[in-house]
Amino acid sequence: MPRHDLPRVAIVEDDPIMGESLVERLSLEGYRPLWLTTGAAALEWFGAQRPDLLLCDIRLPDMTGEELFQALLPRLGGTPVMFMTGFGDIGQAVRLVRAGADDYLTKPFVVEEFLARIAELLRGRSPDDPDAALGRSPAIRQVEHLLRRVADVDSTLLISGESGVGKEVAAAFVHRISRRAPSPFMAVNCAAIPPDLIDSELFGHEKGAFTGAHALHRGYAERAGNGVLFLDEVGELPHPVQAKLLRLVQERVFFRVGGEKPLPFQARLVCATNADLDGLVRAGTFRRDLYYRLNVIPVAVPPLRERPDDVLPLLQAYLHQYAEAFGRPAQRLTPQAEAAALEHDWPGNVRELRNRIERAVVLATGPWISANDLFPERHVVDRFGTGTGWPPLMAVRDESERSHILVTLRRADGQLGRAADLLGVGRTTLWEKMRRLGIAAEQTE
């Protein structure tokens, strides 16, 4: 493996003997260790980059493990963190795991156990993990890991991602697993409210505040109570409302329109955008100070095309859901439909997937959902070509091999050798199958 592909393990450890021996052992085991000796050095290093794993001593010369973890939290993303602790510090280690660290190990430790634990952390959760709520692809599991980690931290989250990737689903998930779950999840789409109403919708208004304000109105910020206020398309807020939101974030208070009494803001703020907020700041349409205040913990939800492992499970889940909702008999996707779904780019992300499968369930006449049902605009040529409308066994086998090879190639980053290993066949066999099944050669480059 080229050196830059080796997993990078950052070690924060001030003891020179411990540090050196960890660096030596981790290099021997095929990792790329990087040794930092103070919390300040770790904070500086994390400003620009992220390792695959962070190993951290709990007692550092300039700060405690807890202080470092809190300070690093906004920059950690889903990076797994393991603390190394002496016997006297187990209480702190347990608190850290509750606050979102992944594991701790008590010194002195048995090297084999240490290596096994870091290998496990680097592998991440298993794809079949029943706790995987948002999806099974490695990319979405990283996002889920980050959300679990910050669920009970009160800092503002800024969720970014293309339209339909699941930003609201991510926000609702954080709410559901947090201690705020019994209080409301108040979702507001800032782009859907007319600009002249948004102030009073968000913050409420007093009776008589303006013509037509016949009664006192409590806004979303107030109705969110101790729950979560989710502002979708936050980049769309008009300037005066941005100023009010800044005050709400900084001082945790707001005023109803026409009101003079400051009201406490008790909810957690979670914002989302599919626009390039940084670009809006540079263009002068979004306040820079507000952007920094909102972007405390950035959460980037990747587009569906970058997490192909999620496509089929999502299709299956929605297929069942819609079949049940519409009282349809059990339906299945033909292997050709699965292959077409895997090859599709999903510009509208999960929302598009959901709409396509809903339409297909409604329109399909028999127990099979074909590629044409999913992608009617494409008129996919019926590779089964039997005229019976029923797939013969050979064609089903070919199509299911084809879709499995496609998934495997993506899992192996297009590397033929790795894909062949995963599939348990030789490289040549795989190559021949790919030629026969018409899988384009460029998919492997």
Ligand X SMILES: Nc1ncnc2c1ncn2[C@@H]1O[C@H](COP(=O)(O)OP(=O)(O)OP(=O)(O)O)[C@@H](O)[C@H]1O
Q: Where are the alpha helices (DSSP H) in 204-276?
A: 220-223, 239-251
DSSP assignment letter at 109: -
| Residue 280 CB, nearest approach to ligand X (Å) | 15
Pattern 343-372, binding to ligand X, x per CB under 6 A?
Answer: -------xx--x------------------
Q: Pick the stretch among 22-30, 72-80, 161-169, 281-289 that binds ligand X (CB under 6 A).
A: 161-169
Please work out, in degrees rounded to the nearest 5, the angle formed at the alpha carbon of residue 64 by the alpha carbons of 115 and 94.
Answer: 60
Asked if 231 touches ligand X (CB under 6 A), the answer is: no
Residues 6+ apart with CB under 8 A from 306: 139
CB 388 within 8 Å of CB 382: no
Query: d(Cα 326, Cα 334) in Å, to the nearest integer?
Result: 20
Residue nearer to ligand X on the CB measure, 203 or 318: 318
Number of shown-chain residues binding ligand X (CB under 6 A): 17
| Residue 313 CB, nearest approach to ligand X (Å) | 9
Reading phi first (left if > 0) and then psi (alpha if -120 to 50, else beta), residue 33 is in: beta
How many Cβ atoms from other residues are within 10 Å of residue 110's Cβ?
9
Q: Which of residues 304-333 bind ligand X (CB under 6 A)?
A: 314
**Which long-range contacts link 119-123 to residues 24+ away (Cβ below 8 Å)?**
121/53, 121/80, 121/82, 122/7, 122/52, 122/53, 122/80
Residue nearer to ligand X on the CB measure, 268 or 402: 268
| Residue 270 CB, nearest approach to ligand X (Å) | 11
Asked if 163 touches ligand X (CB under 6 A), the answer is: yes
Phi and psi at residue 188, to the nearest 5°: -125, 125
Asked if 169 touches ligand X (CB under 6 A), the answer is: yes
List 51, 164, 302, 391, residue binding ligand X (CB under 6 A): 164
Residue nearer to ligand X on the CB measure, 164 or 391: 164
Asked if 180 touches ligand X (CB under 6 A), the answer is: no
Asked if 177 touches ligand X (CB under 6 A), the answer is: no
| Residue 20 CB, nearest approach to ligand X (Å) | 44
Residue nearer to ligand X on the CB measure, 92 or 163: 163
Q: Pick the stretch among 31-39, 163-171, 255-263, 369-377 that binds ligand X (CB under 6 A).
A: 163-171
Residue count (the chain): 445
Pattern 243-282, binding to ligand X, x per CB under 6 A?
Answer: -----------------------------x-x--------
> In 3-state terms, what secondary structure has residue 322?
helix
Q: Pick the stretch among 26-34, 37-45, 160-168, 359-367 that binds ligand X (CB under 6 A).
A: 160-168
| Residue 274 CB, nearest approach to ligand X (Å) | 4
CB 105 within 8 Å of CB 114: yes
How many Cβ atoms from other residues are within 10 Å of residue 90's Cβ?
13
> In 3-state terms, what secondary structure has residue 259?
coil
Q: Which of residues 135-154 bind ligand X (CB under 6 A)?
A: 135
Chain contacts with ligand X (rule: CB under 6 A): 134-135, 161, 163-169, 232, 272, 274, 314, 350-351, 354
